[in-house]
Amino acid sequence: MRFLNLVTRRFIPPHGKGLEYAARAVTAGLLLGLGAAILVGIFGRPGSSGQAIDLVARQPAAGGWSRDRIVVSQGDRVRLRIRAEDVVHGFAIGRLGVDAGPVEPGKTVTVEFVADRPGEFTFYCTEWCDPNHPRMRGVLEVRGAGESAAPAGAPAPASDVTLQHLDDPRDTGIVPPDFPSAMRGLPPYGQGCASCHGAQGEGTDWAAAIGRREFLFSRSPVEVFRMLAGMKLPDGSTRVGAHGQNVAKRSKAATPHAPYARGWSDQERWDVVAALWSFATAADRIDLGRRLFQRNCAACHGEGGRGDGPGGRSQPKKPADFTDARRMLAGTGELYTAKIRRGGMGTGMPYWGSIFSEEELSALVDYVWTFALTAPLRN
């Protein structure tokens, strides 16, 4: 009371006229109004519908996402209010098909979706924001009905993760004289192969579908080249295993393919290989792969896939050069899928298995082939 009296005596003017009181009222109102506005801003805006979850994006060096785990229930309509604090960030949950697009500094982007599947889904930044950008990730945990604890955890590893040869050195031993061209490969393929394997490698009753992903997935381009050239494969044979199996089903002896490619130059053989790989994909898949690559990979691997992206400079190991035919053409789609899914294990490359769907992984690998094998398709 004494303090109140002191304040009253000191600050309430005994001589106050109307204007003075009005001025004090307006000044006090301004202060209170501003304070109230700030409180409203901090504790939630009136009129916002649904429960919004605020997510602040900062460069990984400054802390990354403000939350590294968001827990919702299955069936919830999730409303995320994403704000970038420093540079342009992006937000996506690959396996749920959620993409908020770029979030400019100081701007807030709201994205809404229904969490219709239980599980853990990785959300991640989709814009190159920092040398550690690939590590700017978090987990959206969608709990099923009645679940109170975290679900089983990460999805079961795909079978290819167990491949033992994932990090083995690869070397074709043979280099195409010129960049393989699917377009150039079409005429020799048409003359020598189409009559048995179909015009687009789709297979016939008596010959394998050699232009399909299922066939090519576990084969490297150099294997197919060697087979066409009559060279011995690492197992000592001169034929492609699945082809032989397919033929064997029809009770025919497996046929070495070199005779069919007789008279072809090495370049023509590589061109036919490129044609086979181009049969196994499609323009829309290449386009999807290109978008994924540019958004997520180009910063380190470079837009041209040469491993010369600016982000690669800060990695412990130089990113892979996809234009290095000697190395690239010795690998298989299966191998590259596994590497993307698993990550680089010490090379600095993050794992993408929890982010990309199988379709996205497949499209990305198709696009990666274009750097060494199927470039014409990009045009």
C-beta of 3: minimal distance to another protein in Å?
15
> Considering only residues 274-293, where is the footprint of another protein by CB under 8 A?
none
Residue 138, Cα to own-chain centre: how many angstroms?
15
Q: Which is nearer to another protein, 23 or 199 (CB)?
A: 23
Please tell me the distance from the alpha carbon of residue 66 to that of residue 54, in angstroms, as a whole number. Answer: 9
Near another protein by CB under 8 A: residue from 53, 67, 76, 86: 86
Residue 41 makes contact with another protein by CB under 8 A: yes
Instruction: Write the single-letter amino acid at 101.
Output: G
Look up residue 145 and give its two tokens.
């009905």
Using the rule CB under 8 A, give the single segment among 37-45, 135-143, 235-243, 365-373 that binds another protein. 37-45
Using the rule CB under 8 A, give the single segment among 29-37, 70-78, 150-158, 336-344 that binds another protein. 29-37
Near another protein by CB under 8 A: residue from 6, 7, 27, 116: 27
**Count of residues interacting with another protein (CB under 8 A):** 30
For residue 181, report the phi and psi dihedrals to the nearest 5 degrees: -125, 120
Q: Among 230, 335, 222, which Cα is nearest to 274's? A: 222
Residue 20 makes contact with another protein by CB under 8 A: yes
Residue 89 makes contact with another protein by CB under 8 A: no
- Which residues, 6+ apart, have CB-to-CB distance to 365 below 8 Å? 289, 333, 336, 337, 340
Residue 11 makes contact with another protein by CB under 8 A: yes
Q: Which is nearer to another protein, 42 or 145 (CB)?
A: 42
Q: Which is nearer to another protein, 87 or 163 (CB)?
A: 87
Residue 47 makes contact with another protein by CB under 8 A: no
Near another protein by CB under 8 A: residue from 3, 5, 8, 15: 15
Q: What are the CA-CA distances from residue 94 to residues 98, 122, 124, 277 (Å)? A: 6, 7, 8, 26
**Burial grade of 145 (CB within 10 A; 0-12, 13-18, 19 or more):** exposed
Helices (H), 78-220: 182-192, 194-197, 213-216
Near another protein by CB under 8 A: residue from 46, 47, 106, 169: 106
Near another protein by CB under 8 A: residue from 84, 208, 209, 363: 84
Using the rule CB under 8 A, give the single segment among 83-91, 146-154, 276-284, 344-352 that binds another protein. 83-91
> Considering only residues 113-142, where is the footprint of another protein by CB under 8 A?
none
Which run of H or E residues covers position 316?
Answer: none
Q: Among 223, 231, 233, which Cα is nearest to 329's? A: 223
Residue 17 makes contact with another protein by CB under 8 A: yes
Q: What are the CA-CA distances from residue 28 to residues 1, 12, 108 (Å)? A: 22, 13, 31
For residue 273, report the phi and psi dihedrals to the nearest 5 degrees: -60, -45
Residue 31 makes contact with another protein by CB under 8 A: yes
C-beta of 80: minimal distance to another protein in Å?
12
Q: Which is nearer to another protein, 24 or 213 (CB)?
A: 24
In the sheet that holds 137-143, the strands lie side by side as 69-73, 137-143, 119-124, 89-93, 98-103
Q: Which is nearer to another protein, 59 or 374 (CB)?
A: 59
**Which residues contact another protein by CB under 8 A?**
10-11, 13, 15-17, 19-20, 23-24, 26-27, 30-31, 34, 38, 41-42, 45, 58, 81, 83-86, 105-108, 110
